[in-house]
Amino acid sequence: MQIVDHALADAAERAGAWLACRPGCTQCCVGVFAINQLDVVRLQHGLRELRKFNPARAAGIVSRSRAQVARLSSNFPGNSKSGTLGRTPALMGRFEQFANDEVCPALDPNSGLCELYEYRPMTCRTFGPPVRSEEGLGVCELCFQGASDEEIAKCEMVPDPDDLESELLRQVENTTAKRGETIVAWCLAKEPL
């Protein structure tokens, strides 16, 4: 995470005012997204840590997660019992349209801040700055207003240049015997209140 956080800080410094991401901005907190088993381990660890010093806040996250699971289970594009997302083309296509208006259960509804920020998934850590994918260089729609393609490219974030996350994910999957992707609500709903 230190490498990713350093890459984010570097990209944010180069982006300056073009990067709209600030505490209270929740653009990336609305709509479900896939997380891997390494993200699951981080989030669950973060929830256990939060429970140590603020059990009420931790219980609020679990409660919001369970409510979201209850709302979404009937249309879940995968195994709704385990929360594992399906990998068939049809299920992956359904996921693209799935729960795009749902708010992340880790988001404090009063402050607009992530209650598990230090433990947030990789997707959350890389949202905002320009990050290269198969589709090209992607940025948050709120960021880089008025910037040219060249200016955006100068701010590109390379989150994991040595692909360390893949090895860590492999280790977690081998240790836990859990594979596949899920979403934040299913990951946190399993934790005790």
Give per-residue pLDDT as tens, 52-72. Answer: 999 999 999 999 999 999 999
Instruction: Report angle CA 24, 104, 142 to the nearest 5 degrees.
Output: 45
* pLDDT at position 156: 84
Residue 138 Cα distances to 81, 87, 101, 128, 133, angstroms: 33, 23, 21, 9, 7
3-state secondary structure of 21: coil
Distance CA 75, CA 72 (A): 6
Q: Where are the chain's structural domains?
A: 2-14+30-189
Distance CA 46, CA 40 (A): 10
Beta bridge partners of 52: none
Bigger pLDDT: 113 or 9? 113
* pLDDT at position 142: 84
* pLDDT at position 44: 96
Per the prediction, the chain carries an average pLDDT of 89
pLDDT per residue over 15-33, tens digit each?
A: 888 888 878 788 889 999 9
Phi, psi dihedrals of residue 35, rounded to the nearest 5°: -125, 150
High-pLDDT (> 70) share of the chain, %: 99
